[in-house]
Amino acid sequence: MKIHHVGVAVANLDEGIALYTSIFGARVTHRATVEGIEGAFLDLGTAELELIAPTRPDSPLSKFLADRGPGLHHVAYAVPDIKKALSDAAAAGLELIDTEPRIGLHGVPIAFIHPKSVGGVLTEFVEI
């Protein structure tokens, strides 16, 4: 079974589309309305699911689990140059959690963007 899509709730669809097409370079593949919901689909390529668990009680992930329980945590985007991606994000007004890249689970540089800048979605850049 493969992931078909990841659903992100937005209060206003046009504002959501503007965010993802301008900041993340996504392309709208189609748009539809059904049963009280309107949706837009953005082509985002091949993805993995990453399961993450804390290994110590003072990890930020332990706080997340205590506050909200298990579940969807973040979406990560592959970027060719993470320092440029961070400076572009900062220039676009996004609040960076990591102003400098650090090494993540894949052994390559990563950095997180604050969810309040990205419609409530904790967002990660991965330099690939």
Query: What would the 3-class secondary structure string for 105-120 be?
Result: CCCCEEEEECHHHCCC
Tokens of 8: 């992100």
Closest separation in Å from C-beta 16 to a copy of itself? 4
Q: Which is nearer to a copy of itself, 53 or 91 (CB)?
A: 53
Tokens of 128: 């690939």
Question: What residue type is assigned to position 45 of the chain?
Answer: G
Q: Which is nearer to a copy of itself, 13 or 96 (CB)?
A: 13
Q: Which is nearer to a copy of itself, 35 or 93 (CB)?
A: 35
Closest separation in Å from C-beta 22 to a copy of itself? 11
Closest separation in Å from C-beta 23 to a copy of itself? 8
For residues 89 and 106, what is the distance between their CA atoms, to the nearest angstrom?
A: 22
